[in-house]
Amino acid sequence: MGQANLTADMAREHIMGVGRDDVVFAPIRHHSPTCSWMLEKMFDEFKPEVIMVEAPNDFEALIPLIQDAETVCPVAILASTGDKLDHKQSHFYPFSETSPEWHAIRLAGERGVDISFIDAPSGFWHKGEVQTNVRNLQDEAWFSSADYIVEACNELGLRDGNALWDHLFETEIGESDWQGYFAKVYAYCWALRASTPQSQLEEEGNLEREAHMRGHIEADKRRKLVLTGGFHTPALLEGKMLLPNKKKFANSQFYLVRYGEAALNQLSGYGAGLRYPNWYARLYKAAVQADARPNWREILFDCLIEFKKECTQTGLRISTIELRELIETAEGLARLRGRNEVFLSEIFDAVQTTLIKGSVSNDHPAFEKLRKTFSGHAIGNVPRKAGLPPLVDDARQRSARARMRTDTSELQKRKLDVRRNEGHHAHSQFFHQMQILGVGYANCLAGPDFVTGYRSEILFEEWEIRWSPHIEGQLVDLSFRGERIPQVAVSMLCTQLDALEAAGNGNDIGAIFNIVLRALQAGLGAQISPILNKLHSALTITRDVTAIVEICSRLQLVDSYDEKQNIALSGLVQVAFDRYIALVTEIKKLSDPEEVRIVVRQMGRMDGVLRGPHGENFRLDLYEEAIERCLKSTLPPFLRSALSAVMVRAGRLPVETISQLLVVNISGKDISGSQQAALEGLILVAPEFLWVHSEILDAANDVIAMLDDESFIAILPEFRRAFAQLDPHQTHRLAEKISQKLSVNVQNVVSGSRLWSEQDTMLALKMEHRLNQTLLQDQLLDWISNA
């Protein structure tokens, strides 16, 4: 690696081991079909005793499974590394139909040759920071980003590093000169490596890994074929060596799992290997079938026919003429770029220019279909003896019971009658549990939401379900929480509770209750006693009357459809209500009028809850006794009126009580509060009394009529404030009642005086404003105020 330049002969020499006859090097790009093709030619000619593959050394235990006849690509080795429960990280080592590693392992098995994994153990990849994306152990980001790649693309008129790779290397599939081929790949990768700073190589761990690989190579004296990512090959010829297993790495558990073409494609977005596995698989199959260079036009034609079918399914029709035009355009573009072979970039370009009429964007349906065609969506298979991480197995079985497929990554939809069908209810609970796990398996599109209280009356839930290997990976990560889905879901909810505590919100009954509701929706009510206990203790000390009333209101909704989880709920309702009663009885001690107003408003709301379904769960007698005790003490008219309204509604006081309170208060005889206070207290708790009990309205009307004009005008703003507490419907009801009583048109009552039009009002306001401005300028404002 110390040379300034590398000639073609030198490249050949290097891959042939630089004069050694016991080793050859196969520099590859992961998932390259031509590398796989040439590897077989190399194997047949070199006849190694062992094939050494760039894969974590500890994965060797899975070789028999990979070689098993039942194992079908795409599959992956899924590793979960780390010791601490909350620092687990997951990594994939995928195999596709065109992976040279896959071919090497299978070839070794078929020909009775040993196979050895020579990279650092999988725990090497465990990093200290929190993992935000799953890590692909076949990172090849440099194939697209190196400066000389960009220059080469510009020179050759190619779009990016992938197009360049195709142009230079995938066009040789079907040829037989493996030495020439791998020498060219080596030279390409040598140049990539030469343009990478040493510090970056060290930082990314490449130097240490390569030392491991060299250690393995030198320790094994047999005739060996060394297959590694091309970027590493130049470093394997010389340099420092590390003997295997001398260093301790993070623990790792790994499994061979089914993988998917769609996931392979996505994972390649993290800078590894070639995207669109289905396209490359076709290329490889065509070459194998021909046992020579494939018929490129036939491959193109087959792909476009499949693309056409995909499009037809969604109403995007492609005519035969358009298909012909597509093929001609793709081939024309390839020729313009200096070759006959049509690759992906030509196909995408041809689709864009031929099929999309109008402005183009990357999310056009035609592109989406094309990407789908070339990505594929098949999922591989592993033998039963591969076993599954227990949690994954549990998730699979539950999915099967819910009639959801796990052998495809296609989107599936399900509608569940959660109230009337017990089976559906169970499936719903499973889906909710998976939602709690946050693995992206289930998405509820519509249905009753007990967490927010939204649409709690509707019957059906609609779900979108999708299985993918990434979900399996995430389930493996969560395995430390338990082996069954419900168990893990409960654990996740407990973690959410701990997070509230850590954030100083450990007594936020609203937030805790939301966690409880999620658990209830997921059928976990019987398993969340720690959370219920926490809610219980938080309720006993809370001063948040709004949250208490909210909880009581929501508990009714849950209660009404899932009786099996009632066990803990009835106790909870009582605790909440007891605390509510305590806060109501303390209302007279409150000094802040706004706080008092809040409690009274909640009393009105609570009355609605007490009169609603399952009102019998509440100990009304205790409540009424508590209010009775309050009424025995001296209270301002606002409170007295509000509490009396509750008692009148409960039948414990006669209606006249309210009438008398209003008369005394409005007439001004009770100077302990403002003259609208009793009215406002009544409106906040029981506004309907004004139109239901005519004696109350009559009493109010009579006492107001007796006021002189001056007094009336003085209290008018306060009356307006009191009536502003009514909603428009209530306002209209009251207006109707008043209009009947006074034999006037209700419109006149509602819309106000006809003497003043809206324009008059605006004019008056403007005049007032200008007058104020003038008084201010003349410094007469104080004089007017004091007069």
Q: Which residues bind other proteins (CB under 8 A)?
A: 157, 159, 321-322, 325, 328-329, 332-333, 335-337, 345, 349-350, 352-354, 356-360
> Judged by CB, which is closer to other proteins: 197, or 358?
358
Nearest to 224 by CA among 22, 63, 17, 38: 22
Nearer to other proteins, 110 or 363 (CB): 363
Smallest separation, CB 153 to other proteins (Å): 9
Q: Which two tokens stand for residue 420?
A: 């009337």
CB of 346 to other proteins, least distance (A): 9
**Closest CB 350 distance from other proteins, rounded Å:** 8
Q: Among 649, 653, 666, 738, which residue's Cα sits nearest to residue 700?
A: 666
User: Please, is 377 exposed, middle or buried when counting C-beta atoms within 10 Å of its C-beta (0-12, 13-18, 19+)?
Assistant: middle
Name which of 152 and 582 has its Cβ closer to other proteins: 152
Q: Using an 8 Å Cβ cutoff, are 208 and 242 in contact?
A: yes
- Of 159 and 247, nearer to other proteins (C-beta) is 159
CB of 322 to other proteins, least distance (A): 8
Closest contact distance (angstroms) between CB of 326 and other proteins is 10
Q: Closest approach of Cβ 700 to other proteins, in Å?
A: 49
Do β-strands 75-81 and 252-258 pair in parallel, antiparallel, or remain unpaired? antiparallel
CB of 197 to other proteins, least distance (A): 25
Residue 151: CB minimum distance to other proteins, A: 11
Please list, in sequence order, all residues whose beta carbon lies within 8 angstroms of the beta carbon of residue 385, skipping any fewer than 6 positions away.
65, 68
Q: Which of left, alpha, beta for 782 (phi over 0: left; psi -120 to 50: alpha)?
A: alpha
Cis peptide leading into residue 74 (ω within 30°): yes
Q: Is 26:42 a contact under the CB 8 Å cutoff?
A: yes
In the block, tokens 């970027």 appear at 231
Residue corresponding to tokens 């299978």: 106
> 535: number of CA atoms within 13 Å, CB side?
27
Query: In the complex with other proteins, which residue's Cβ is closer, 321 or 502?
Result: 321
- Write down the least CB distance from residue 762 to other proteins, Å: 23
In the complex, least distance from residue 193 CB atom to other proteins, rounded to whole angstroms: 27
H or E segment at 66?
Answer: helix 63-67
CB-nearer residue toward other proteins: 158 or 386 = 158
Contact 380, 262 (CB under 8 A): no
Q: Min. distance of Cβ 328 from other proteins in angstroms? A: 6
Nearer to other proteins, 3 or 312 (CB): 312
**H helices within 127-276, ranges in order?**
142-145, 147-156, 161-168, 178-194, 198-203, 206-219, 261-268
Q: What is the 3-state secondary structure (H, E, C) of 735-783?
A: HHHHHHHHCCCHHHHHHCCCCCCHHHHHHHHHHHHHHHHHHHHCCCHHH
**Order of strands across the sheet with 50-56?**
23-28, 224-229, 50-56, 114-119
In angstroms, give the least distance from the CB of 351 to other proteins: 10
- What counts of helices (H) and strands (E) characterise the chain? 36, 11
Hey, what are 279's tokens? 């396209």
- Cβ atoms within 10 Å, residue 607: 19
- Residue 28 CB contacts under 8 Å (≥ 6 apart), including other chains: 35, 39, 100, 185, 227, 228, 229, 230
Closer residue to other proteins (CB): 85 or 321: 321
Q: 335 or 769: whose CB is closer to other proteins?
A: 335
CA 523, 526, 528, 531 dihedral sign is positive
For other proteins, the closer of residues 340 and 748 by Cβ is 340
Angle CA 462–521–491, to nearest 5: 120
Q: ∠ CA(387), CA(388), CA(394), 5° rounding?
A: 130
Provide the minimum distance between the beta carbon of 332 and other proteins in the complex, in angstroms, as a whole number.
4
**Closest CB to other proteins among residues 138, 354:** 354
Burial 356-370 (b: 16+ CB within 10 A, else e): eeeeeeeebebbebb
- Specify the residue, 157 or 239, whose C-beta has the smaller distance to other proteins: 157
CB of 154 to other proteins, least distance (A): 8
CA 689 – CA 350 distance, rounded (Å): 75
For other proteins, the closer CB: 144 or 660 = 144
HSE-CB at 13 with a 13 A cutoff on CA atoms is 8
DSSP character at residue 565: G
Nearest CA to 301 out of 283, 281, 327, 332 is that of 327
Shortest Cβ 369–other proteins spacing (Å)? 18
Nearer Cβ to other proteins (349/393): 349
SS3 of residue 95 by DSSP:
strand
